[in-house]
Structures are given as C-alpha cells and as structure tokens.
Amino acid sequence: MRGAILHAPGDVRFETRDDPEIIDNTDAIIRMSATCVCGSDLWDYRGINPVSEPAPIGHEYVGVVEAVGSEVTTIRPGQFVIGSFFASDGTCPHCQAGYQTSCQHREFVGAGGAQAEALRVPLADGTLVATPEIPSDELLPSLLAASDVLGTGWYAAVAAGVQPGSTVAVVGDGAVGLLGVLAAKQLGAERIIAMSRHEPRQRLAREFGASDIVTERGDEGVARIMDLTRGVGADAVLECVGTPESMQQALRSTRPGGGVGIVGVPHGVSIDGEQLFYSHVRVQGGPAPVRRFLPELVELILNGEINPGKVFDLDLPLSEVAEGYAAMDERRAIKTLLRP
C-alpha cells in the first residue's frame, strides 16, 4: 500500500509501505475512507519534536473494516468505523472511569501511520465505534473530525467545566479551538469568546457559536476578556495551543473557581504553584479520551445536529499529503482532509 512517511522536518513523502497485518488477536485492519493532518503532526513537521528517523505519521482515521483478529467480538469486516488516536481496551479501571487515553494497555494508533491507505488498529473492540450503516460521502469529513479534533475540543470544554449558561473563552483558533467553540455551544454555554486574529477562522468560530471575538493577546488579551466579563473572568477557558503564552492567557482569563481545560500539548510550559494557588482556578488536561465521547458525537453527526467537518478547508488526494502539511504549516489551511 501507499502512505505518508515523515523523513525529516518539512519533508513528508507519499511512498510505498508494507501492508498492515493482524499482529495481535485483538487487532483490526481498516481500509481508509479518509484521513487528515493534525495540528500536533506539525510539532513533528516543524522539528519541534525531534525526528530521528523516517517514520509513518497520522493518527486520525475513518474507514471500513477489512479484517479482524480471532479475539475481536464486536467489530466485523465490512463495518464503517471511527476510532480514537489511542487504542484502549475499554475494560481497565481508567477506561471505565472515562479516561481511555490513560488505558492500562493503551497503544498509540498513530504508530502505524494513519495517513495511508490502510491501518492496523489494536484493541479493536475497545477502540472502534461502528456506524449502523455505511455513511454517505458528505458525512465523511464530520465523522473524521470526531476521530480527534472534535473529541479533543469536546474534552477541553468538559474538562473546563462548561455548563448551561457558562461564559467560555477559547484560546487557540486551530481546528481544536474552533471545535471547542462548537462543543461549548452544544454544552449550553451562553457566551463564547473566541480568541483569533484570522478572519476565516473568526467566521467559522461565529458559525460554530462564538458570540465574541478577541484579537488581542497577552496582557491586552486578558484585559479584553476581563472587560467582556465585567472584571470577573470567564467561567471556563479552553487552552487549545500548548505554549507558555497560551497557558498564561488561559489561567489569567478564568474567574476564581472557574476551570481551564488543557488540550494543547504543553511544550515548554510550567505552571507556577503560587500563581495557580492564588488564582483559585481548576485545571485539567490531557490527551482527550475521545472514545468516551464518540458514541454521542457520532450520533449528533449522523442526525445532522452538528457539522464539525467544516474545519476542513482543504481536501486533497492522499498522494498530495506534502502539500497538505505545507498549507497548514503556512496557515493557508485550517485543516487538510486526505482521501486515499
């Protein structure tokens, strides 16, 4: 089969690779219907995470099951499935508590490289969610978004404690931040402040439910949020970037007793204990346990209640994966969908 290989920073190639095979009896092999490029792939693409050797890349996927291992009981060949970027057994205490990305037997699905024509998914029963029938092509982008960015934005909103009536601020206008806006809206937020300087992203944020746009950053960004909330701060803030600046933006924009949901993978971030203490702000983050939310999200999509697929503003054949990365790196695209 063919798929993407990241050779070095800025150098992603479409190449022939070995077909994935069943390794464990709990595996499934899926034929990719669509995959995409994640903001977190850019950490590798930009060399911020070291790239030591050429490796498959990509961890977002929807597809049709081609084969399953002998111990797989709930997933069958021919089913259309969506899964999270971490495989999880669904039975350990952490899975049962809803933290499947901390599963005691978790495996990173992306190790197999989802930007490819086919993919091995470990722990298929615990990881994959099958739709009742093969969905129409127009639903593919939204279902694919559920595989990571929608579930991640959703977790950010849940971790931040968004409630009906909440005032929410979203730091970061990438696909995750934009879908954090959508999640906050679905969870009943009354006011949603999106922080963005990019006109097309501002437009999409408004479409997803943002009531206010803040273009300022740093001290000015905090002051603007304080202005908009009468000096109180937001009830819930979604940190969807992962830099020291964005973390400060989030912590300082939150009211005492409010929450920050952190889904931007922290790079060089440290939180001063005294600042956190005196802020009274509640903080929770982590690799989103997307699997917890998938059944609900898939249903919302199949019922046409949400359309998270709008975050894809570039749709390319998988063979043009290199351009897909470049467009996102240069912020010409919010998110690239790739079709094998």
Nearer to a copy of itself, 131 or 284 (CB): 284
Please say whether the beta carbons of 302 and 139 come within 8 A.
Answer: yes
Q: Which of the stretches 63-71, 133-141, 273-281, 313-321 binds a copy of itself when contact is defined by CB under 8 A?
A: 273-281
Candidates 238, 242, 248; CA nearest to 217 is 248
CB burial string 52-82: b at 16+ within 10 A, e below: eeeebbbbbbbbebbbbbeebeebeeebbbb
Minimum distance from residue 326 beta carbon to a copy of itself (Å) = 28
Q: Which residues, 291 to 320, sit near a copy of itself by CB under 8 A?
A: none
Between the alpha carbon of residue 103 and those of residues 22, 23, 81, 214, 335, the distances in Å are 21, 19, 20, 37, 28
User: Rounded distance, CA 129 to CA 260, Å?
Assistant: 29
Q: Which of the stretches 32-40, 94-102, 130-138, 329-337 binds a copy of itself when contact is defined by CB under 8 A?
A: 94-102
Most distant pair of Cα atoms in the chain: their distance? 60
Query: Within a 13 Å sphere around the CA of 277, how many CA atoms are in the beta-carbon half?
Result: 3
Q: Which of the stretches 216-224, 268-276, 293-301, 310-318 binds a copy of itself when contact is defined by CB under 8 A?
A: 268-276
Q: Which of the stretches 5-13, 34-42, 92-100, 314-322 binds a copy of itself when contact is defined by CB under 8 A?
A: 92-100
Is 223 near a copy of itself (CB under 8 A)? no
Minimum distance from residue 11 beta carbon to a copy of itself (Å) = 26
Is 287 near a copy of itself (CB under 8 A)? yes
User: Rounded distance, CA 210 to CA 189, Å?
Assistant: 10
Q: Which of the stretches 115-123, 166-174, 282-290, 319-327 binds a copy of itself when contact is defined by CB under 8 A?
A: 282-290
Is 271 near a copy of itself (CB under 8 A)? yes
Q: Which residues, 238 to 257, sit near a copy of itself by CB under 8 A?
A: 242, 247, 255-257
Please say whether the beta carbons of 239 and 262 come within 8 A.
Answer: yes
Is 111 near a copy of itself (CB under 8 A)? no
Minimum distance from residue 191 beta carbon to a copy of itself (Å) = 14
User: Rounded distance, CA 290 to CA 35, Å?
Assistant: 16
User: Rounded distance, CA 117 to CA 43, Å?
Assistant: 23
Q: Give the chain's length.
A: 340
User: Rounded distance, CA 67 to CA 289, Å?
Assistant: 25
Minimum distance from residue 166 beta carbon to a copy of itself (Å) = 12
Pick the binder of a copy of itself from 270, 303, 305, 330 (CB under 8 A).
270
Is 163 near a copy of itself (CB under 8 A)? no
Is 159 near a copy of itself (CB under 8 A)? yes
Query: Rule CB under 8 A: which residues touch a copy of itself?
Result: 93-94, 97-99, 101-102, 104, 159, 230-232, 242, 247, 255-257, 262, 265-266, 268-274, 276-287, 289
